[in-house]
């Protein structure tokens, strides 16, 4: 590293102290834990997830749902959101101290909230909704019961997802900054390190590819151990997979912070205490996205991509790239810390070797065209039947994008393959020409959609018809085609048989609803022709009616279920529900 950069680095790294001082503001609050059990976790704040950083802490509640959840401070409900997917039953409580606490995947709410939402649901005839609650409507004392932890929405098992947000900015903050105590005496654990050649003329151990190294835990294992030396050519950058394991917590929680130090100078510092939702997608720029797509491994990289505007890392003038004088040996140290301050360090060496000639094997596919997309300009691919556009700043770095057209062997429709190993920060627009015969047939044109093709499965990305084309937006590169959804959803009984007596211990009537392509848009249940609340659980495709004797009040009742998909195909079924 050259001298002027060392000075610059000192200046750039100064804000680290400012970083940690902001914690004092949080500590002026006096939140108590939202549950009455010692806190163990199945997920940490800012963990790396699909297209986002995890916005809360996942608190374990055992295998059983129904653990009581308490308001951590005096406050009032500001928002209630119920979704079939996502957070399921969500609750937002606004506190006077300037923060809002958020709870997701609740099994149910406390009686006073349940009463409030039931009224709303029957009035609007909907299970799902997202509403602001007027001031003073639902107040809670500190420590008062607000609900029960559960598994609703897209949850992988019973747990409480707990968040603290700044009410004004809506920034999400690590609840541990507010004194939420998680017993943790285990230092973070490095799983593997990846060394990546930067640019065309760089190599790692004589090869042009990224190399992954497992960290050796004992002599028998193969991998990288403390003080090993790896030879590289020209310039490289690094990636790391690391976890934190807290007491009694399941498996691996995400890493809180790490520093990369080269020859005793820090070149990269990564730590997330707070972030905004609009920045959450930058997770794809903080990991090696290409490696993630190829192997499923999420390496946190210490290289700043030109359009990575995420504010929770600090780097040097070289953007994390490590360069070498001929034959120079450089000492590399990783320093990892968890929130409790437990520290892990790992040291190894990189030694530069002169370049050797490279044999390149060109592979050319006649029908595939490669385009270079620039991150700082708009990009476009256009031919006679498709226009693909990407606004400026949609990419984190310049990217190779290949484009080809193939035919679906089963029905002959055209598949547009727009491929790249780069992630997208902003969405790409596909404008595909639709044959006249389809557009002019109103029965077919209303069922048209664009789908992505992944492992022989179709996933709808929707689309609207405009001037002879269908226009759809997508968040990722891939293969796309025009197709129809003409098949209506299915409705099948799950825990009863129509016209047969239900079981006396039964307290729900459940049906399974599924759609093949465009997805479920509307669902309604009626008992003896009166609308009743049916709760839709997306992950299990079930529609659940909780038996209410004042609604299910005849010996023989008619349950009518009507389900529509997003293309307007509707199924209606009537079941005879006989009481025992
Ligand atoms: Zn969560």
- From ligand 1's centre to the CA of 107, what distance in Å? 15
- Cα–Cα distances (Å) from 301 to 124, 214, 330, 375, 576, in that order, read 48, 16, 18, 19, 59
144 and 67 inside one domain: yes
Can you list the alpha helix ranges (DSSP code H) found in 23-79?
23-26
- From ligand 1's centre to the CA of 98, what distance in Å? 22
- From ligand 1's centre to the CA of 57, what distance in Å? 6
Q: How far apart are CA 459 and CA 537, in angstroms?
A: 20
- From ligand 1's centre to the CA of 319, what distance in Å? 31
**Which residues touch 263 (CB under 8 Å, ≥6 apart)?**
1, 330, 331
Task: Answer whether residue 364 is part of any domain.
Answer: no
- Cα–Cα distances (Å) from 187 to 178, 217, 248, 256, in that order, read 21, 14, 14, 11
- From ligand 1's centre to the CA of 56, what distance in Å? 5
- The radius of gyration of the chain from alpha carbons, rounded to an integer in Å, stands at 28
Kindly give the pairing relationship between strand 490-493 and strand 520-527.
Answer: unpaired
Nearest to 106 by CA among 132, 69, 140: 69
287 and 389 inside one domain: no
- From ligand 1's centre to the CA of 158, what distance in Å? 11
**With the CA atoms of 287, 176, 88 and 514 taken in that order, what torsion angle do they form, in degrees rounded to the nearest 10?**
30
- Cα–Cα distances (Å) from 235 to 204, 265, 326, in that order, read 9, 17, 11
- From ligand 1's centre to the CA of 84, what distance in Å? 16
428 and 479 inside one domain: yes
- From ligand 1's centre to the CA of 86, what distance in Å? 10
Domain end, chosen from 352, 385, 409, is at 352
- From ligand 1's centre to the CA of 168, what distance in Å? 22
Task: Centre a 10 Å sphere on the Cβ of residue 94 and count the other Cβ atoms it contains.
Answer: 18
> H/E element holding 334?
strand 329-337
Task: Answer whether residue 454 is part of any domain.
Answer: yes
- From ligand 1's centre to the CA of 160, what distance in Å? 7
- From ligand 1's centre to the CA of 58, what distance in Å? 5
- From ligand 1's centre to the CA of 89, what distance in Å? 13
Q: State the pLDDT at residue 480.
A: 97
- From ligand 1's centre to the CA of 60, what distance in Å? 10
- From ligand 1's centre to the CA of 494, what distance in Å? 29
Sign of CA dihedral 351, 356, 359, 365: positive
Task: Answer whether residue 525 is part of any domain.
Answer: yes
197 and 172 inside one domain: no
143 and 264 inside one domain: no
288 and 327 inside one domain: yes
- From ligand 1's centre to the CA of 87, what distance in Å? 8
| Helices and strands (DSSP H and E) totals, the chain | 8, 45
Domain end, chosen from 292, 324, 352, is at 352
* Average pLDDT per block of 10 residues along the chain, 580 residues long: 44 44 66 94 93 96 93 98 98 97 98 98 98 97 98 96 96 94 89 94 92 89 91 96 80 89 96 96 97 96 97 93 94 96 96 74 64 95 95 96 88 90 97 87 87 92 93 97 94 96 95 96 98 98 97 95 96 96
Q: For the chain, how many structural domains are there in total? A: 4
For residue 114, give the 3-state DSSP assignment: helix
Task: Answer whether residue 253 is part of any domain.
Answer: yes
Q: Which domain holds residue 388?
A: 369-484
Domain CATH for 95: 2.70.70.10
Q: How far apart are CA 427 and CA 395, in angstroms?
A: 10
- From ligand 1's centre to the CA of 62, what distance in Å? 15
Q: How far apart are CA 123 and CA 150, in angstroms?
A: 26
51 and 87 inside one domain: yes
- From ligand 1's centre to the CA of 299, what distance in Å? 21
DSSP 359: -
What proportions of the chain, in percent to the nearest 5, are helix, strand and coil? 10, 45, 45
- Cα–Cα distances (Å) from 278 to 170, 311, 425, in that order, read 10, 12, 10
Nearest to 535 by CA among 552, 556, 501, 511: 511
Sign of CA dihedral 70, 72, 77, 80: negative
DSSP 467: T
- From ligand 1's centre to the CA of 226, what distance in Å? 35
- From ligand 1's centre to the CA of 29, what distance in Å? 23
Q: State the pLDDT at residue 24.
A: 54
Domain end, chosen from 484, 518, 541, is at 484
Q: How far apart are CA 318 and CA 330, in angstroms?
A: 16
Q: How far apart are CA 132 and CA 148, in angstroms?
A: 21
Q: How far apart are CA 565 and CA 517, in angstroms?
A: 8
- From ligand 1's centre to the CA of 492, what distance in Å? 31
The torsion angles phi and psi of 114, rounded to 5 degrees, stand at: -55, -45
381 and 262 inside one domain: no
- From ligand 1's centre to the CA of 454, what distance in Å? 27
Task: Answer whether residue 136 is part of any domain.
Answer: yes
- From ligand 1's centre to the CA of 264, what distance in Å? 37
- From ligand 1's centre to the CA of 278, what distance in Å? 18
36 and 150 inside one domain: yes
Domain CATH for 315: 2.60.40.10
- From ligand 1's centre to the CA of 185, what distance in Å? 23
- From ligand 1's centre to the CA of 280, what distance in Å? 14
- Cα–Cα distances (Å) from 241 to 198, 259, 260, 266, 517, in that order, read 19, 13, 13, 19, 36
Q: How far apart are CA 211 and CA 493, in angstroms?
A: 52
- From ligand 1's centre to the CA of 159, what distance in Å? 8
**Cβ–Cβ under 8 Å, residues 222 and 192:** no
Nearest to 520 by CA among 474, 466, 570, 452: 570
**Which residues touch 85 (CB under 8 Å, ≥6 apart)?**
153, 154, 538, 539
408 and 502 inside one domain: no
- From ligand 1's centre to the CA of 43, what distance in Å? 6
55 and 146 inside one domain: yes
Task: Answer whether residue 2 is part of any domain.
Answer: no
- From ligand 1's centre to the CA of 95, what distance in Å? 21
Q: State the pLDDT at residue 336.
A: 97
**Cβ–Cβ under 8 Å, residues 528 and 557:** yes
46 and 151 inside one domain: yes
- From ligand 1's centre to the CA of 55, what distance in Å? 7
- Cα–Cα distances (Å) from 276 to 236, 273, 423, in that order, read 31, 11, 19
- From ligand 1's centre to the CA of 251, what distance in Å? 15
Task: Answer whether residue 184 is part of any domain.
Answer: no
- From ligand 1's centre to the CA of 536, what distance in Å? 20
Domain CATH for 541: 2.60.40.1220
Domain CATH for 476: 2.60.220.30
Task: Answer whether residue 258 is part of any domain.
Answer: yes
Q: State the pLDDT at residue 26.
A: 77
For residue 223, give the 3-state DSSP assignment: coil
- From ligand 1's centre to the CA of 104, what distance in Å? 8
- From ligand 1's centre to the CA of 51, what distance in Å? 14
Q: How far apart are CA 242 and CA 258, in angstroms?
A: 9
- From ligand 1's centre to the CA of 41, what distance in Å? 10
- From ligand 1's centre to the CA of 23, what distance in Å? 22
- From ligand 1's centre to the CA of 520, what distance in Å? 25
**Cβ–Cβ under 8 Å, residues 403 and 393:** no
């Amino acid at each position: 590293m050259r001298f002027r950069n060392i000075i610059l680095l000192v200046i750039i790294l100064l804000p680290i102290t400012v970083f940690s001082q902001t914690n004092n503001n949080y500590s002026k609050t006096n939140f108590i834990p939202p549950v009455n059990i010692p806190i163990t976790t199945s997920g940490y704040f800012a963990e790396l997830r699909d297209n986002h950083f995890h916005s809360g802490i996942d608190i374990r509640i055992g295998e059983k749902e129904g653990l009581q959840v308490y308001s951590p401070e005096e406050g009032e409900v500001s928002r209630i959101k119920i979704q079939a997917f996502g957070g399921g039953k969500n609750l937002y409580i606004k506190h006077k101290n300037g923060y809002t606490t958020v709870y997701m995947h609740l099994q149910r709410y406390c009686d006073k909230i349940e009463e409030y939402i039931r009224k709303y649901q029957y009035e609007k005839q909907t299970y799902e909704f997202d509403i602001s609650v007027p001031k003073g409507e639902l107040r809670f004392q500190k420590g008062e019961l607000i609900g029960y932890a559960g598994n609703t929405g897209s949850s992988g098992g019973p747990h409480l997802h707990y968040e603290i947000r700044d009410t004004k900015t809506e920034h999400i903050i690590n609840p541990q900054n507010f004194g939420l105590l998680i017993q943790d005496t285990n230092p973070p654990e490095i799983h593997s390190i990846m060394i990546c050649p930067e640019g065309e003329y760089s190599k790692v151990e004589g090869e042009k590819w990224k190399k992954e190294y497992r960290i050796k835990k004992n002599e028998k294992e193969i991998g990288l151990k403390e003080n090993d030396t790896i030879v590289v050519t020209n310039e490289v950058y690094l990636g790391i997979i690391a976890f934190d394991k807290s007491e009694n917590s399941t498996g691996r929680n995400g890493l809180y912070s790490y520093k990369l130090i080269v020859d005793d100078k820090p070149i990269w510092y990564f730590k997330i205490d707070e972030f905004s939702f609009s920045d959450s997608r930058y997770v794809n720029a903080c990991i090696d996205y290409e490696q993630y797509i190829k192997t499923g491994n999420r390496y946190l990289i210490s290289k700043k991509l030109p359009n990575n505007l995420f504010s929770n890392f600090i780097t040097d003038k070289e953007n994390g790239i490590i360069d070498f004088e001929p034959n120079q040996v450089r000492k590399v140290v990783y320093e990892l810390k968890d929130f409790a301050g437990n520290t892990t360090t790992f040291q190894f060496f990189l030694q530069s070797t002169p370049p050797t000639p490279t044999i390149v094997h060109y592979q050319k596919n006649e029908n595939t065209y490669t385009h270079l997309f620039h991150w700082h300009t708009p990009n476009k691919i256009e031919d006679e039947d498709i226009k693909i556009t990407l606004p400026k700043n949609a990419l984190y770095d310049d990217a190779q994008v290949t484009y080809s057209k193939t035919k679906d062997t089963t029905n002959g429709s055209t598949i547009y393959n727009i491929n790249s190993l780069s992630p997208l920060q902003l969405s790409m627009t596909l404008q595909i020409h639709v044959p006249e015969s389809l557009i002019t047939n109103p029965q077919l044109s209303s069922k048209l959609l664009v789908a992505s093709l992944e492992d022989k499965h179709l996933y709808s990305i929707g689309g609207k018809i405009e001037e002879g084309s269908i226009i759809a937006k997508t968040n990722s590169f891939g293969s796309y085609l025009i197709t129809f959804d003409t098949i209506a959803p299915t409705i099948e009984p799950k825990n009863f048989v129509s016209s047969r007596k239900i079981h006396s211990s039964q307290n729900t009537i459940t049906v399974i609803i599924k759609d093949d392509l465009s997805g479920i848009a509307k669902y309604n249940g009626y008992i003896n022709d009166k609308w009743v609340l049916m709760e839709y659980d997306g992950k299990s495709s079930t529609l659940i009616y909780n038996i209410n004797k004042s609604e299910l009040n005849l010996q023989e009742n008619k349950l009518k279920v009507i389900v529509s998909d997003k293309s307007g195909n509707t199924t209606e079924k009537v079941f005879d529900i006989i009481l025992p």
